[in-house]
Structure 1
């Protein structure tokens, strides 16, 4: 079977066994590519080395195609931001390949696969890999102390996987970036594929909260948020706990401790909240913990009622469920804080702003992280999107 026939057969098998993945894989226009050592995809074209593909089994080609399209569906290139390119590629592969394994696809030998990362976002995996490989952890929302550009970091900086040649989603010989129109087309194609798969009862598992992360608007809402946090911080340096950004270097530097800030974060899990906002929340919540390791954060998830309350502090692994899907009423969160967290000094509420507000503003500061234009009767509104 020649490479062309193998690719067509793999797409057919995917469509039959995994309609969601098959419909998306069929969008890729495959063609032989000069200088391509294995395969590469930019979301429009799938270039391949015929000698490489013809050595693959049908299951391996199905995996290759699915891995490629999921990078585009999950907007991994757009979500990279200022992260190291090769390490981000590894993290996204781990996230995708665990999802594919969960849905019955064969993971080839040599692919980036580790069950320890099952169910984790690529952003979470990336942070764990940084610690694992001893890379710099001194990052924040405003810059990085590593002066090298992510593009200048060679794959040799990260240990290669054992067990054979890697199955990366892109070997660097084709432009990775998607233009806005192509990205929009992928999101539309994914929504159509989801609808078809749901009608057939074959929607992949593990996709519910694995959507793309949103990118903040031109308004630097992170700067506003961190300024607000800093206003409550006391410049009291203490060695307990030490600054976690430098622990990997064997250096115990003092951290900025605070006995004046009690931060509460609420996330609106109502039916009107999409995965973009949830993803952005996850990313920024981790940034807050990493940049303010001495701050204890109370996390509340709610729609028209409070579903869960968790307590986190910098450096802890995020492990919580997002329950909801109902209507939106902000009052239960404020009532819950009054009853259970009376020392709260600031509330950050991630929401679309569509719901019932308390009649009387609370005594503590309130920041509304809004996914769209909305009027808030009190507090400061921060726009997440342009």
Structure 2
């Protein structure tokens, strides 16, 4: 038997073992093309194929072989190669490894080779969030990158769509098999990653716009067929919409995050001139109001204490507004004391990278704010 046949037999045996440990990972592995390669010192993926160095593979324990296979399969299935975009390859690879290794080690019966990167406090986040956060961790090192470009270069739009469809089908089937067998649950890190797979996901400005078109002016008579032609914005140009903005300035929010929040606020003031925006800074207390204008400088932040979301909502509730009287937008990491009851106004939570899961806010809607390619 030649070495390639022996390698394929070992891989098949590993997939069988993978089925016993995790039907979810095993199903994903069946959608991957696993090939031996001497080009890579360990293992790698281009998003389509998985390459494993036979010498490296044969020196792993059985549990480590399962860990390596799951590691590369998850990189491929979660589109880590394609999602990188123009981000710095090494830092992106480290971020992706942190997330994937956390997902794997949340399961029983898996091991990772010596030197695998772990950072438990970040493992529940998406790769985009981890990438943003680890720029301060200069000591993190990765000897071999395992996220590599396809040989024919970057993916075209059509190729990306085809790849995304392939792995979406794989993930759906893996989820279905896991549900049928009743074997295991999705780790928190994997659930968060799945939420970042779809490029059609709206950014927070699009969410805000959806809120704004429901507020105080009656748009029922407007012909919504014209929305796609860009005429909706023109119809709103003369209207005024009240937006109450809170920026979390508690001790858990760093200067970088506050600067990012204020930059985003300045951006929407310029993009939506019909807004009547009022700013509050908030920690355990509330500072303001500060009326905002597109051409005016935003006041300097105040705060630095604990985090309590209630004072801000107490202020806006005191104005006696109806649900169509405006919108509340809260920039925060989400770690703090929430009101026991939801306010009258619709609320949009804009959560910083590393903040609480968007599903944990008790009312309103939540979106993640992550700097583009930063």
When normalised by structure 1's length, the TM-score is 0.52
Q: Tell me, in whole angstroms, the C-alpha distance in 1 between the residues paired with 2:11 and 2:366.
A: 45
Give the equivalent residue in structure 2 for 1:131.
Answer: 136
Answer yes or no: is the 8 Å Cα contact 1:79–1:215 preserved in 2.
no
Give the equivalent residue in structure 2 for 1:337.
Answer: 343
Answer yes or no: is 1:39 the counterpart of 2:43: yes
Give the equivalent residue in structure 1 for 2:199.
Answer: 215
Question: How far 1:65 moved relative to its partner?
Answer: 1.5
Aligned residues, how many? 257
- Identify the match of residue 33 of structure 2 among 26, 29, 33: 29
- Identify the match of residue 197 of structure 1 among 164, 178, 187: 178
Question: How far 1:113 moved relative to its partner?
Answer: 1.4
Give the equivalent residue in structure 2 for 1:106.
Answer: 111
- Identify the match of residue 278 of structure 2 among 240, 247, 260: 260
* Cα displacement string for residues 206-251 of structure 1 (whole angstroms, at most 9, x for unaligned residues): 144431413258x99748959x9xx989xxxxx9999923999xxx
Aligned-residue Cα RMSD (Å) equals: 5.0
- Identify the match of residue 49 of structure 1 among 46, 53, 59: 53
- Identify the match of residue 255 of structure 2 among 239, 244, 248: 244
Give the equivalent residue in structure 1 for 2:127.
Answer: 122
Give the equivalent residue in structure 1 for 2:262.
Answer: none
Q: Tell me, in whole angstroms, the C-alpha distance in 1 between the residues paired with 2:257 and 2:334.
A: 21
Give the equivalent residue in structure 2 for 1:93.
Answer: 97
Q: Tell me, in whole angstroms, the C-alpha distance in 2 between the residues paired with 1:183 and 1:111.
A: 27
Q: Tell me, in whole angstroms, the C-alpha distance in 2 between the residues paired with 1:292 and 1:36.
A: 53
Answer yes or no: is the 8 Å Cα contact 1:232–1:261 preserved in 2.
no
- Identify the match of residue 170 of structure 1 among 132, 141, 147: 147
* Cα displacement string for residues 268-323 of structure 1 (whole angstroms, at most 9, x for unaligned residues): xxxxxxxxxxxxxxxxxxxxxxx9995998899xxxxxxxxxx9976x64559xxx
- Identify the match of residue 84 of structure 1 among 85, 88, 101: 88
Answer yes or no: is the 8 Å Cα contact 1:11–1:22 preserved in 2.
yes
Mark the CA change 1:347 to 1:99 in structure 2 (over 3 Å): closer, same or farther: same
Give the equivalent residue in structure 1 for 2:167.
Answer: 186
Q: Tell me, in whole angstroms, the C-alpha distance in 1 between the residues paired with 2:129 and 2:300.
A: 17
User: SS state of the match for residue 337, structure 1?
Assistant: coil
Mark the CA change 1:292 to 1:55 in structure 2 (over 3 Å): closer, same or farther: farther
Question: How far 1:61 moved relative to its partner?
Answer: 2.0
Q: Tell me, in whole angstroms, the C-alpha distance in 2 between the residues paired with 1:293 and 1:69.
A: 47
What runs of 5+ residues in structure 1 fail to find an aligned partner? 134-157, 234-238, 249-254, 265-290, 301-310, 321-332, 339-343, 351-366, 371-386
Q: Tell me, in whole angstroms, the C-alpha distance in 1 between the residues paired with 2:177 and 2:300.
A: 45
Give the equivalent residue in structure 1 for 2:13.
Answer: 9
Answer yes or no: is the 8 Å Cα contact 1:41–1:169 preserved in 2.
yes
Q: Tell me, in whole angstroms, the C-alpha distance in 2 between the residues paired with 1:191 and 1:78.
A: 19
Answer yes or no: is the 8 Å Cα contact 2:82–2:160 preserved in 1.
no
Mark the CA change 1:31 to 1:76 in structure 2 (over 3 Å): closer, same or farther: closer
Answer yes or no: is the 8 Å Cα contact 1:38–1:171 preserved in 2.
no
User: SS state of the match for residue 193, structure 2?
Assistant: coil
User: SS state of the match for residue 17, structure 2?
Assistant: helix
Answer yes or no: is 1:63 the counterpart of 2:48: no
Q: Tell me, in whole angstroms, the C-alpha distance in 2 between the residues paired with 1:111 and 1:41.
A: 16
Question: How far 1:107 moved relative to its partner?
Answer: 2.2
Answer yes or no: is the 8 Å Cα contact 1:70–1:96 preserved in 2.
yes
Flag the structure with higher helix content: 2
Give the equivalent residue in structure 1 for 2:78.
Answer: 74
Q: Which has the larger radius of gyration?
A: 2
